[in-house]
Structure 1
Amino acid sequence: MDFGVVMRYIPMFFTGIKLTIFISIAAIFIAVIVGLLIYFMKASSIKIGGFHFLRVIAFAFIEIMRGTPLLLQVLIAYVLVGMLPMSSELPSNFAAIIASIAAIGLNSSVYIAEIFRAGIQSIPKGQMEAARSLGLTHLMAMRKVIMPQAIKNILPAIGNEFVADIKGSSMAYVLGIAELTFTAKVVQGATYRGLEPLIVSAVFYLILTFSLGRFVGWTERRMQQDDRY
């Protein structure tokens, strides 16, 4: 193997890293918001004619996201973005980035919803009962009592999901977005080297995920130490 010729394209890989990180951050932001919404829809007691329609919508969404490939979701999102009235005024690359962020974020949101459920249910029921006995509404008790305690269990798990989104962002290459995986394919064509660009791309992914994984682990240990005092 000859990595010398590939090293000349390192600036392209750094550009790909920036786009990979941007897509991942935007996707996890969407995932947290939608995931929290899905959790409350699943926990909702609202009925219309005795029918828990919010729970059914949340259940259907979760099954669709879990039961279909992420790659297919990215392609569907790209087509849907292209059907929007203002899509003709957007640069094609920008539309592809929006579609990738939306697909990866929505796919991740169903797992974030489960993280919220596990984190909130880890808080003893007596906490909610005590808050309600003090006159707080259910929403106020969730915001002021339950969520501040549950966040210590939720944040490390969301960090792990962020790691998964970094790897999932590689699916964006099918839309021609110049993230890490697409950059490796471009360098393959420019250098006629099949393996070396892929290895360089894999090393960068490993550096990103390993560093973030260690940071998540450090954060979790700090939170556990705070609980002891």
Structure 2
Amino acid sequence: MLDSYYRAFIAEQRYLMYLDGLKMTLLVSLLAIILGVALGTILALMRMTAERRGKSTLLSKIAYVYIDIIRGTPTVTQLLIMYFVVLKGVDGLIVGTVTFGLNSAAYVAEIIRAGILAVDHGQMEGGRSLGLSYGQTMKDIILPQAVKNILPALGNEFIVLIKETAILGYVSIVDLTKVADFVTSRTYEAFAPLIGTAIIYYLVVKVLTLVLGVVERRLRQSDKR
């Protein structure tokens, strides 16, 4: 078994390939979550126009349909559609980032909307009674309180995103999982490359989970003050 791991990670400096693959995985995940948060915020506000006016609006319907379609179709299918149809001929890194960003936006939108709705409605009424506009009340009163509900869930979304990017090999991106596939084809051994890759994913997720736990504890402490 040690020989197997040696051939999979040490021989021919293959560990450098894993490092490059990990960098690509984290890069796509980071860019995608940034895009997802930006677009997800817009979608959440679009959906909330229905709550604001007490009835469905065109914006809320568009946001609902988008979220419904994205959440109802497999990510790998979305990736292939982007690569072979929508963004045909575009670099795989861009395709992967856009696909996972658009996919993440649907989930982030619901996270943000739920975080905003969790803030007591009296906060909005209080802000409006002080003469603030809807936008000012949302920006200065509602959103700062909603962030405490949103941040932990966004952290979990980022963790999920890292694991989902394991399908990037479909669009010719050499991510961590694709590296394991390459090594398997060269060494004719699947156990060490795949198990080793799984351990790397686990360690990355574990570190992020611990960081997220620290953030959550600090947010809870601030609530007690």
**TM-score scaled to structure 1, two decimals?**
0.90
Q: What's the offset of the Cα at 1:45?
A: 4.7
Q: What CA distance in whole angstroms lies between the structure 1 residues aligned with 2:60 and 2:145?
A: 25
Q: Deviations over 1:37-93 (max 9, x none)?
A: 1111111259xxx9722122111111110111100001111121126xxx4xxxxxx
Q: Is 1:178 equivalent to 2:174 in the alignment?
A: yes
Question: In the aligned structure 1, how far is the partner of 2:50 from the partner of 2:212?
Answer: 34
Structure 2 residue aligned with 1:161: 157
What residue is the counterpart of 2:9 in the other structure?
7
- CA positional deviation for 1:203: 0.8
Counterpart AA for 2:208: L
Superposed, which structure 2 residues align to 1:29-108 within 5 Å? Answer: 29-45=34-50, 52-79=57-84, 80-82=86-88, 87=90, 95-108=91-104
Query: Could you tell me how far apart the structure 1 residues matched to 2:50 and 2:105 are?
Result: 21
The Cα shift of 1:111 comes to: 1.2
- Distance in 2 (CA, whole Å) between partners of 1:55 and 1:130 is 25
Q: Which position in structure 2 is the counterpart of 1:110?
A: 106
Q: Which runs of 5+ in 2 are unaligned?
A: none
Is the alpha carbon distance of 1:154 and 1:51 closer, same or farther for their aligned partners in structure 2, counting shifts above 3 Å?
closer
Question: 2:33, 2:101 within 8 Å by CA — same for their partners in 1?
Answer: yes
RMSD over aligned CA atoms reads 1.5
Unmatched segments (≥5 aa) in structure 1? 88-94
- Residue matched to 2:22: 17
Instruction: Quote how far apart the aligned CAs of 1:184 are.
Output: 0.4
Aligned twin of 1:27 = 32
**Quick check: 2:24–2:174 contact (8 Å CA) kept in 1?**
yes
Paired AA for residue 88 in structure 2 = G
Whichever residue aligns with residue 76 of structure 2, its letter is L
2:148, 2:186 → 1: CA distance?
Answer: 47
Aligned length: 216
Q: Which amino acid aligns with 2:71?
A: R
2:49 & 2:174 partners in 1: Cα distance?
Answer: 41
CA distance in 2 between counterparts of 1:25 and 1:156 reads 16
Give the 3-state SS of the residue equivalent to 2:77 in structure 1.
Answer: helix
Shift of 1:148: 0.6
Cα distance in structure 1, aligned partners of 2:100 and 2:82: 10
Structure 1 distance, partners of 2:64, 2:39, is 13
Question: What one-letter code is carried by the residue in structure 2 that aligns with 1:3?
Answer: Y
Distance, in Å, in 2 between the alignment partners of 1:207 and 1:152 is 26
Which consecutive segments of 4 or more residues in structure 1 shift more than 6 A? none
Three-state SS of the structure 2 residue aligned to 1:44 is helix
